[in-house]
Amino acid sequence: MAAKDRIDTSGNAQPLANNPFGGLSADGLPQAPVQPASTPATAGSKRKEPNRNRGRVDVSRQTAGRGGKTVTVISGFKGIAQGELQELARAIQRSAGVGGTLKPGSVIEIQGDQRPAACRILEDAGFRPVLAGG
């Protein structure tokens, strides 16, 4: 069995014999404009500062219909995009170290009684959390 000719991948190989881009040059082309690094937009603010009055949200604990399992339900979001709700849900889940989901109708459900962690994250995001229910 004859050894096959293999392509050298060590980086020491000769350059390709037929390089389609070898004859191109950037002579005569305009320089690209230099753009300053963009800063990430703050959530919901056009004033370049965090929005601290984003409305009231209800944070409640429920066990009904869940086989005795406790969940924290956060509802009452108004005018919030789905992407931002997903980010809030993930932030609460990470801070509490539990799972959760985003239900239709802008409702976040977090496993367990995680009301203090949820309130802290929501306050940082500019919402006014209100503990509701049992």
42 near 50, Cβ under 8 Å? yes
Beta strands in the chain (DSSP E): 56-62, 71-75, 100-103, 107-111, 128-132
Could you state, in chain order, the average pLDDT of each consecutive group of 10 residues for the chain (134 residues)?
A: 71 70 81 70 56 84 88 90 91 92 91 92 91 78
127 located within any domain = yes
3 located within any domain = no
18 located within any domain = no
Predicted pLDDT at 129: 92
74 near 99, Cβ under 8 Å? no
Structural domain tally of the chain?
A: 1
Predicted pLDDT at 37: 64
Biggest distance spanned by C-alpha atoms of the chain: 79
pTM for the complete prediction? 0.61
Predicted pLDDT at 57: 93
Q: Which residue segment(s) compose the domain that 119 sits in?
A: 56-132
94 located within any domain = yes
CATH of the domain at 120: 3.30.780.10
Q: State the Cα–Cα distance between residues 90 and 19, nearest whole angstrom.
A: 48
108 located within any domain = yes
Q: State the Cα–Cα distance between residues 97 and 101, nearest whole angstrom.
A: 13
123 located within any domain = yes
Closest C-alpha to 122, from 91, 80, 94, 100: 91
26 located within any domain = no
116 located within any domain = yes
62 near 73, Cβ under 8 Å? yes
Predicted pLDDT at 80: 86
Q: State the Cα–Cα distance between residues 114 and 97, nearest whole angstrom.
A: 10
